[in-house]
Amino acid sequence: MKTRLAILMALFSGFLSAQVEMNYSYEMKYGDGKQVERTASDNPVASDYSYFENLLDINTYFGDHVYLYTQLEYSNPPLFGYSRTGIDSMLSAFYIEYSHDNLNIKIGDLYELYGRGLNFYTMQDQNVDYDNSIKGLNIKYLLMNNFEFSALIGQGEYGYRSNPAKLTNDRYFNK
C-alpha cells in the first residue's frame, strides 16, 4: 500500500512539475564611498555613503494560461528610497495573470499602458525608485480584431520628490 501511494505521489509531482515553468532573475547593487551635500550655508561637505540592494524576480508559468510575477527586494540601505529589510516590506511587486483566447485577467500590482501612454501609463523603474503602479484588477476582452472591452479597477499612492537630489519621496498623492 505504501509503495502504491509513493508511486502515485511521484507520478503526480512529475505531472505537476511538467506543467510549471519558473524563471529567476537576481540583481545586486553595491556601492561605497563619499557623497557631497550642501549645508544650510550652501557650503559643500563630504560624508560617507554606501548602499546595498538585492532584487529577485520570480516568473512562474502554470500551464499555458496562468502567469505569476513576484519581485522581492532586500535593501539596507538602498541607493534611493526606503530600506526594505522585513518580510512584510520585501515584496515590492506581485501580480497573477490569466489569459485564454480573447480573455485576459490580471490581479495585483498593475503596470498598464493605454492610448500609447497619453491616457494612462504605470511603470516601475528600480534605478530611481519610481513606481506608480496601482493595486487592483484589470480585465480585457477582445470582441473583434480592432474592438476590445477593458476595465481597470484599483487604487494606489504616487510618491515623488520635490527635488531630484533627495533620496526619498517627500510628496504624495493618491490615485
| pLDDT range class, residue 67, cuts 50, 70, 90 | very high
Assess if residue 19 is contained within a domain.
Answer: no
- The contacts found for 77-82 with CB under 8 angstroms, 24 or more apart, are 77/50, 77/51, 77/52, 78/51, 78/53, 78/129, 79/29, 79/31, 79/51, 79/53, 79/129, 79/167, 80/128, 80/129, 80/167, 80/168, 81/129, 81/167, 81/168, 81/169, 82/168
Q: Is residue 7 part of a domain?
A: no
- Report if residue 28 sits inside a domain: no
- Asked if the structure places residue 33 within a domain, the reply is no
How high is the mean pLDDT of the chain? 83
Q: What is the pTM of this model?
A: 0.74
Domain total for the chain? 1
Q: How confident is the model at residue 24 (pLDDT cuts 50, 70, 90)?
A: very high
The verdict on residue 80 lying in a domain is yes
Which structural domain range is residue 138 located in?
A: 54-174
pLDDT at 158 over 90: no
Q: 113 in a domain, yes or no?
A: yes
pLDDT digits (tens, 9 = 90+) for 97-135: 999 999 999 999 998 888 887 788 888 877 777 778 899
Residue 38 falls inside a structural domain? no
Would you say residue 146 lies in a domain? yes
